[in-house]
Amino acid sequence: MAEAITFDNAEAIVVGHLSGHLAVPVQRVVADPRPAKFVRVLATGAHRRNLPQLDAQITLECWAPTDAAAAALARDTYGWMCALDLDTAHVPQGSDGWLGGPYPSPDPESGTPRYVMTAIVRQRATTLGGA
């Protein structure tokens, strides 16, 4: 008998976590019209560590009107991502938790200041059982 294994939506976990701590919109898509200051959360990959664990790769874009404001938002976002520690998801401490960033990467179309970082959200399966 096969086992069904599922994981919560990593983007939704991060959006919910950051929305509770940052005073800016945290969303998966860029709104139209685009807010002056916001954080975009994107799932950009994942790999299975073992049967009940998945490492979701989450890229975060921190947008603001000035480079200093975008850098400050990135520092706050980084700090709150390091604090993510739920029963079914956490960001590992040290280099296991981060693939890169935060680093400056202005929007290529508008030139708007933006900082980017990519974290690993280690997830524990929420459903294990016979199918």
Which 3-state string (H, E, C) describes 31-84? CCCCCCCEEEEEEEEEEEEECCEEEEEEEEEEECCCHHHHHHHHHHHHHHHHCC
What is the predicted pLDDT for the residue at 66?
Answer: 98
The pLDDT profile of the chain, 131 residues, written as one tens digit per residue, is: 566 789 999 999 999 999 999 999 999 999 999 999 999 999 999 999 988 999 999 999 999 999 999 999 999 999 999 999 999 999 998 888 999 989 999 999 999 999 999 999 999 998 765 54
What is the predicted pLDDT for the residue at 67?
Answer: 98
Contacting residues for 89 by C-beta, under 8 A, at least 6 apart: 8, 10, 13, 121, 122, 123, 124
DSSP state letter for 19: H
Here the tokens at position 63 are 């947008």
What would the DSSP string read from start to end of 90-124? Answer: EPPSGGGGEEEEEEE---TTT---EEEEEEEEEEE
Q: How many CA atoms lie within 13 A of 82 on its CB side?
A: 11
**Look-up: residue for tokens 């200051």?**
37
We find that the CATH architecture of domain 3-130 is: 2-Layer Sandwich (3.30)
